[in-house]
A and B are shown apart, each in its own frame.
Chain A
């Protein structure tokens, strides 16, 4: 039988070290809502989401109540909308009407984000994909809860550089249209390479076309728990360090597995995966940067940071993978800037630059995340940053992403406040040398040689 020491340990993780389940994300297939009449498609989408997800928030609240573990977010991911709108959307406004339907559905069922206003253009864009991408600025500025993502490359297909070029412009336009709110629209737009079909985390979640009709994916978190555990092994060697991270990751993930199974049972929707990510929040003691500092760095960004992050990411996976029957999504350590107080401190201290962050993304689970840059950054420069990040993902066979915010009217030295889980961020310096001729070439970058495994 469970003993008092174990009960106290678990409750200390929850109460003092910010252990929580970051999100229960319900994936919903919308392929059966497609049709040639736009208003009919919108109605079907609204009806399907509000039917399948009607009990999602209640189920999350019930699990939270019964197990005493906070379930921070209840969210929905849907099939990439470029596919659903392909047969009925002829204009940008047509696509925006679907975004507005998604937003209404999200409000109706009480979820705080709905992801899947997306296009998968790993190799090239169809006319529908291109139309959806062009509608993103309007869609994100006219809705509150809709999140968008575009997958522009993969190890198997290479990188669609036409889409990369277009997205540089789209990100700037989104920043312009949401300038009254510090360009927050860009915080809801992710550009991916090797995007996973089952990612429960926003803003990049969508319900992959390889998935079933509905699925429950759960994202756990707990950087504070790992940090606390590492405090007890200060000065110990790497073996001890790694064992401690693994053991902690295992415990955290077991909770995620329990919550996922319970949610699956309550909603009568199959359990998909647990995403074992260390996802920070702006709260003190809920920071991946603080783990890196505990490992032995003065600030993230100091020499040794990439090695420390590589080790952390790997041990989280090794510990977590044994704790769940299905692991997927992004799984690893997130290194967003604005959502992690330790990262913000590192930028403000001058320890962490965009270039070092790029190096760190080679070994973390996602990529350049929640980074505020000057509003006058050129579209081609943003495309260049995206291309670099996509190349890292393509060559290393991992997911990489860019969620970057060129904050309209602000420059290096300013700070931007997004609020809530999105946090605040100092504007980071961007290398000002031009890559325009490179981006303007057009076409696609071929898949790397090691992708040919057949």
Chain B
């Protein structure tokens, strides 16, 4: 399994999750975990996804998520999960 963490940060509005999830579904990316909160009107979301069945490369996925973020007006970042595991788990 190739796990990637997707974070979305920006001003809250309708349809952020819908847009991101539609993209993931269309690209055979499975969502394993999702959490979301609003901090002072700011939308914060984190997803852990499995990209092993996705036909696209990490670069393409990261670029396209970046574009979708720009369209909605939020910042979308994709990072491989290991950096978080390495830092926070022994």
Contacts and interface: CB of A to CB of B under 8 A. Distances in A.
Contacts of A6: 84, 87-88
Contacts of B81: 2
A10 interface: yes
Contacts of B85: 2
Contacts, number: 59
Contacts of B82: 67, 258
Contacts of A11: 7, 77
Given A4-B46, A7-B46, A258 B35 contact: no
A234 interface: no
A186 interface: no
B77 A254 contact: no
B44 A8 contact: yes
A258 B83 contact: yes
Contacts of A9: 88
Interface string A1-17: 11110111111000000
A66 B81 CA distance: 9
B35 A251 contact: no
A255 B88 CA distance: 10
Interface in A4-39: 4, 6-11
Given A66-B80, A257-B86, A1 B48 contact: yes
A65 interface: yes
A10 B87 contact: yes
Interface residues of A, number: 20
A427 interface: no
Contacts of A7: 5, 7, 46, 84
A11 to B, nearest CB: 6
A258 B86 contact: yes
Interface string B67-90: 000000000011111111111110
Nearest to B34: A4
A394 B3 CA distance: 49
A128 interface: no
A69 interface: yes
Nearest to B32: A1
A68 interface: yes
B83 A69 contact: yes
Given A6-B84, A66-B62, A258-B83, 8 more contacts: A2-B84, A2-B88, A7-B5, A7-B7, A8-B46, A10-B84, A65-B62, A67-B82
26 contacts: A1-B48, A2-B48, A2-B85, A4-B35, A4-B37, A7-B5, A8-B44, A8-B46, A9-B88, A10-B83, A10-B84, A10-B87, A11-B7, A65-B59, A66-B62, A67-B79, A67-B82, A67-B83, A68-B77, A68-B78, A68-B79, A68-B83, A69-B83, A255-B83, A255-B86, A258-B82
